[in-house]
């Protein structure tokens, strides 16, 4: 936008802002914030939203736009970090880029940048500690010994580079504690509290460790042996490791869950869960079930599915998966999978993204069933 057009738009928005001060309306406030965002003035947009939310704290639209403004700030930070990495590559720039990805929950890119930084700049305490933390989180999800070993290796290397660093030592203590290595964990916490006696999280972990019974502890010297020892002891005690039990229970639950027993009831359930006014489910053979269906809605679902096929094929976009048509008074969501369709008509208050997730789940079960 040229300087003149920019100034004109700013004047228009200032007037709108003054009008809204005397007669505030949530939708208009959200539009104003969006317009400021369009001008690249995220701070003013945030200010407008803040005052709007103080007047209309329950407004879902204002809350959604605030989320967008926050995301815009994060995107800006990411752009700046990318530029910095190109202009002046160094470990700090890489860490800033990794952190920007992390703030956006882009965990794959976060890990990728850290790994590249490690290859490019060699052993760096902060990079190693962050990679160790990632691997520790993965271990907590996977309960795989390989993740625990990798996390331990990375955190120890971080401490080799910076022996006084608190975070990798705390994470190492937590990792040891979680696999039952109480003496290992105690040793790390004692060292950490010697460096930082006021460290609250470390103190809480120390208290938890003190409550552990002496007989419960594993004693192996190195971490690999410690893991093996813990596994062996758990097997002797319980016949199966706790995470193996959880996995087995999940498998059993998945087997027990009926795969789309009654499509009509599923369509009703989908309407209830998603908040949709109308729902239509069509299987790959063309059989249809729905909630509050009518002829126009059924025709729209089928026509739009055919349209998606044509458009995706014509533009070489592959297989169509979803279509969302958003209007001011509501939205239409169409999910497609292997010839089966789920169409939903949503009122304006319902989040189309969440409804699409529910529709995808129902469709998945319909196709599997």
Partner 1 sequence: MREAVRQLKQRVGVRGALVMTSDGMVVAADLCDGLAPDSVAALASAAVGQALRAARDLRLGRPRRVLLTASFGRLVFVPVDELMLVIVTEPSLDLELTLLEIAGPAQRIRELSRLNAPL
Residues interacting with partner 1, by CB under 8 A?
1, 5, 9, 34-35, 37-40, 67-68, 71-72, 75, 104, 106, 296-297, 300, 303-304, 307-308, 310-312, 314-332, 345, 348, 353
Q: Helix, strand, or coil here: 104? A: coil
If the CB atoms of residues 106 and 365 are measured against partner 1, the closer one turns out to be 106
Q: How many Å apart are CA 333 and CA 319, to the nearest integer?
A: 17
If the CB atoms of residues 41 and 229 are measured against partner 1, the closer one turns out to be 41
DSSP letter, residue 25: -
Q: How many Å apart are CA 172 and CA 136, to the nearest integer?
A: 9
Segment holding 22, helix H or strand E: helix 3-22
Q: How many Å apart are CA 52 and CA 38, to the nearest integer?
A: 18
CB of 214 to partner 1, least distance (A): 50
Q: How many Å apart are CA 187 and CA 363, to the nearest integer?
A: 52
CB of 128 to partner 1, least distance (A): 28
Is residue 130 within 8 Å of 94, Cβ to Cβ?
Answer: no
CB of 117 to partner 1, least distance (A): 20
If the CB atoms of residues 261 and 354 are measured against partner 1, the closer one turns out to be 354
CB of 74 to partner 1, least distance (A): 9
CB of 108 to partner 1, least distance (A): 10
* The token pair that represents 73 in the structure block: 């700030």
If the CB atoms of residues 250 and 303 are measured against partner 1, the closer one turns out to be 303
Phi, psi of 269 (to 5 degrees): -65, -40
If the CB atoms of residues 242 and 353 are measured against partner 1, the closer one turns out to be 353
């Amino acid at each position: 936008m040229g300087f003149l057009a920019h100034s004109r738009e700013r004047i228009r928005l200032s007037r709108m802002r003054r009008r809204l001060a005397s007669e505030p309306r949530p939708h208009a406030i959200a539009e104003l914030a969006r317009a400021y965002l369009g001008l690249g003035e995220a701070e003013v947009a945030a200010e407008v939203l803040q005052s709007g939310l103080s007047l209309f704290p329950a407004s879902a639209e204002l809350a959604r736009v605030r989320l967008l403004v926050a995301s815009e700030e994060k995107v800006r930070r990411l752009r700046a970090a990318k530029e910095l990495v190109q202009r002046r590559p160094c470990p700090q720039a890489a860490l800033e880029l990794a952190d920007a990805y992390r703030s956006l929950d882009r965990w794959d890119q976060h890990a990728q940048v850290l790994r590249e930084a490690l290859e490019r700049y060699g052993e760096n305490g902060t990079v190693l500690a962050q990679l160790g933390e990632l691997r520790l989180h993965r271990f907590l999800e996977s309960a795989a010994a390989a993740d625990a070993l990798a996390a331990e290796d990375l955190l120890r290397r971080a401490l080799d580079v910076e022996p006084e660093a608190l975070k990798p030592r705390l994470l190492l203590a937590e990792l040891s504690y979680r696999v039952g290595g109480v003496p290992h964990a105690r040793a790390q916490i004692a060292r950490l509290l010697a460096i930082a006696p006021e460290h609250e999280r470390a103190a809480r972990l120390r208290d938890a460790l003190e409550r552990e019974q002496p007989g419960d502890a594993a004693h192996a010297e190195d971490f690999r042996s410690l893991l093996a020892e813990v596994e062996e002891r758990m097997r002797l005690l319980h016949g199966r490791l706790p995470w193996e039990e959880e996995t087995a229970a999940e498998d059993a639950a998945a087997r027990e869950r009926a795969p789309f027993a009654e499509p009509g009831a599923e369509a009703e359930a989908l309407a209830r869960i998603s908040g949709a006014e109308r729902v239509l489910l069509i299987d790959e053979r063309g059989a249809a079930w729905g909630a509050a269906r009518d002829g126009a809605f059924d025709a729209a679902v089928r026509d739009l599915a055919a349209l998606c096929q044509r458009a995706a094929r014509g533009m070489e976009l592959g297989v169509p998966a979803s279509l969302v048509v958003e209007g001011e008074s509501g939205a239409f969501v169409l999910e497609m999978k292997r010839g089966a369709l789920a169409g939903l008509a949503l009122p304006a208050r319902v989040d189309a993204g969440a409804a699409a997730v529910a529709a995808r789940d129902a469709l998945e079960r319909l196709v599997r069933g």
